Amino acid sequence: MEDGTQAAGGAKPSRIQLRNRKRILDAALDVFSMHGFRGATLDQIAEASGLSKPNILYYFAGKQEIHVTLLSGLMDTWLDPMREIDPDGEPLEEILRYVHRKLEMSRTLPRESRLFANEILQGAPRIGAGLVTDLKPLVDETAALIETWAAEGRLKPVDGRHLIFSIWATTQHYADFDAQVQALMDGRDTHDEAVVFLDALYRRMLAI
């Protein structure tokens, strides 16, 4: 009687389930990250995943569930670099390492970056709550850590939250606004240059 197939059933998922859910999520990441939630269609996801539309709805209860599954599944990966900032490390090096990791994620996971960007741009209607419960505590903590470092004279004085915003903005820019970046950089290696630029930016901003 138990279903277990759809929703977040408790039973162990079969090999087929695992494979097809992964296919669907990967296709959906393509489509959602390109067109946003409302602009994406189940038909596009179906085509991109190689499954039929009803078959997709056999694995997920609806379009929205696919989207939410993607977002919440990605949240952890997305926040990992910030979690790895070591309070006992050398402040400037810790922050520069964070910048480099975020930039690297922009290069390797541009679809994920755009997925989040689309969601936030449109007011975060589907993960608004998650921002406060998952993101805020971590940001509060990290901002406090940065400001402690600054108060100890190990960094130049800085507002922790705005520093974090600026790191997000500058690193994710290369993924989110790639269309613009590409139009303006005639074939130059954007990311390699960005590493150098952002390293200098935050070093000059923060080094005592």
Partner DNA sequence: CCACTTTTTTACCAAATGGTAAAACCACGA
Partner DNA sequence: TCGTGGTTTTACCATTTGGTAAAAAAGTGG
Q: Which residues bind a second copy (CB under 8 A)?
A: 34-39, 114, 117-118, 120-124, 128, 131-132, 135-136, 139-140, 156, 158-159, 161-163, 165-166, 168-170, 172-174, 176-177, 179-181, 183-185, 193-194, 196-198, 200-201, 204-205
- To a second copy, the closest distance from the beta carbon of 19 in angstroms equals 29
Angle, CA 18 vertex, CA 16 and CA 24 arms, to 5°? 95
**Using CA atoms, how far apart are residues 120 and 127, in angstroms rounded to an integer?**
8
Applying CB under 7 A, does 53 fall inside the site for DNA?
yes
In the complex, least distance from residue 57 CB atom to DNA, rounded to whole angstroms: 4
Distances (CA, A) of 151 to 80, 90, 95, 159, 203: 26, 14, 16, 11, 17
Q: Please report which residue ranges of the chain form alpha helices under DSSP H.
A: 15-39, 42-49, 53-59, 63-83, 91-108, 110-121, 128-130, 136-151, 160-176, 178-184, 190-206
* 64: partner contacted, choices DNA, a second copy, none (Cβ within 5-8 A by kind): DNA
Give least dist CB 20 to DNA, A. 5
17 near DNA, judged by CB under 7 A: yes
Residue 61 CB, nearest approach to DNA (Å): 7
Query: Helices marked H in 109-159 — which ranges?
Result: 110-121, 128-130, 136-151
Q: Please tell me whether residue 4 adopts helix, strand or coil conformation.
A: coil
Tell which one of 41, 77, 108, 122 touches DNA (CB under 7 A): 41
Asked whether the beta carbons of 42 and 67 are under 8 A apart, the reply is no
Q: Are 147 and 160 in contact (CB under 8 A)?
A: yes
Residue 76 interacting entry, from DNA, a second copy, none, C-beta within 5 to 8 Å by type: none
- The CA distance from 110 to 177, in Å, is 10
87 binds, among a second copy, DNA, none (CB under 5 to 8 A by kind): none
Measured over all CA atoms, what is the biggest interatomic distance in the chain, rounded to whole angstroms? Answer: 66
Residue from 7, 55, 76, 162 binding DNA (CB under 7 A): 55
Applying the rule CB under 7 A, the residues between 161 and 190 that interact with DNA are: none
* Interface with DNA, residue 5, by CB under 7 A: yes
Q: Does 63 bind DNA (CB under 7 A)?
A: yes
Point out which residues bind DNA (CB under 7 A).
4-5, 14-17, 20, 40-43, 51-55, 57-58, 61-64
